[in-house]
Amino acid sequence: MISSLDGAATGADGRSGGLNNEPDHRVFAALRALCDAVVVGAGTARDEGYADLSKPLVLVTRRASVPEGLRGEEPGRVLLATTAGAEHLDEARELLGAEHVLVVGEDEVDLPRLKRELGERGLGDLLAEGGPSLLRDLLAADVVDELDLTWVPRLLAGDHPRIAVGDPVDLTMRSAHLLVSGSTLLGRWLR
């Protein structure tokens, strides 16, 4: 995750990529290299673009909507986690293959169940890249064991989203590493 000093999780362009700098890119690349799969909300995948990812991508969506840019990917590269009552469930199964669509909940995506099912598929080391609503839901479900957060030396003000948005969640983390690169602060926090 990335944030400005005043808590903005997106730049002026409305994307987290608008905040990235070289130190964050290095950590981002290392985290992706170490994970088994990247977990992201479908809206964030649509907004940020994930077509060039070398790891399996797990899309989390209540509607089972597959972003245009991820349709036609090689089978198994995109997994979709959704609900039994999802509006676009049949279409997602047709686009991705039924074996790549995980129904993990009736009305809401059951995130602990998703984590277990991905682990059973050999995808135990997951990197959640957001967006802010998904991160909040992951925190509320208590399935986050590590938070890697970069603070870039910028002040943006305005109504930018934070790294997690939605109903309040109060979890305590402990610092494992704090690194400084130039004026960028990189932190690793554990549960």
Q: Give dist(CA 87, CA 66) in Å, integer.
A: 11
Do 1-35+129-191 and 36-124 have matching folds?
A: yes
The full set of domain ranges for the chain reads 1-35+129-191, 36-124
Q: Where are the alpha helices (DSSP H) in 15-141?
A: 22-34, 42-48, 89-96, 111-120, 132-140
Contacts of 44 (CB under 8 A, 6+ apart): 129, 130, 131, 134
> Positive or negative CA dihedral for 134, 139, 144, 150?
positive
Mean pLDDT over residues 49-59, rounded?
Answer: 87
pLDDT (tens digit per residue) in 136-185: 999 999 999 999 999 999 999 999 999 999 999 999 999 999 999 999 99
- The CATH code that applies to domain 1-35+129-191 is 3.40.430.10
**What separation, in Å, do the N-terminal and C-terminal C-alpha atoms of the chain show?**
16
Joined together, the tokens standing for residue 171 give: 């979890």
Q: Which class is domain 36-124?
A: alpha beta
**Model pTM?**
0.93
